[in-house]
Amino acid sequence: MNPWARWAVVALFAAAIFAASSTPRPAPAIARVPGLDKVLHFAVFFLFAACVQSALTGSGLSLVHAAAAAAAAAALYGASDEIHQMYVPGRCASWGDWAADAAGGIALAAAVLLRRSG
């Protein structure tokens, strides 16, 4: 896949996160299962970081640097997502959600680095 296509995937994924965060209330089923929202935050931002890491390595960045940058991108975009939700009726910012977002990015970086060393 060419680098432009990889960055297009990152942009589409970021837009999907923004759109989901713009809905007034999360799905009721998510709210009823304790901890499910944190698992979803972790998974979404793990995948977001994977897209960023792929785009960065496809653009010529080393795997180690791309993994670290992808983890940082997930944490930063997660923070901006929580700030965005402060302005959406029925939503609120959450340190726990941001921590799950950042953990997803960190887990992606760790997985990439463990795979590389193994």
Read off the pLDDT of residues 34-62 as tens digits, 9 standing for 90 and up.
Answer: 888 899 999 999 999 999 999 999 999 99
Contact (Cβ atoms closer than 8 angstroms) between residue 81 and residue 101 = yes
CA distances to 46, 65, 100 from 32, in Å = 23, 39, 18
pLDDT at 30 over 80: no
Q: Between vectors from CA 34 to CA 40 and to CA 105, what angle results, nearest 5°?
A: 30
**CA atoms of 13 and 20, how far apart (whole Å):** 11
Share of the chain above pLDDT 70, in %: 94
pTM of the shown model: 0.92
Place of tokens 């997502």: 81
Number of Cβ within a 10 Å radius of residue 97: 21
**For residue 6, what are its two tokens?**
């990889």
Secondary structure class of 41 (helix, strand, coil): helix
Going from N- to C-terminal start, the domains of the chain cover: 3-117
- What is the rounded average pLDDT of the residues 58-69? 95
Place of tokens 């499910």: 36
- Band of pLDDT at residue 28, cut at 50, 70 and 90: low
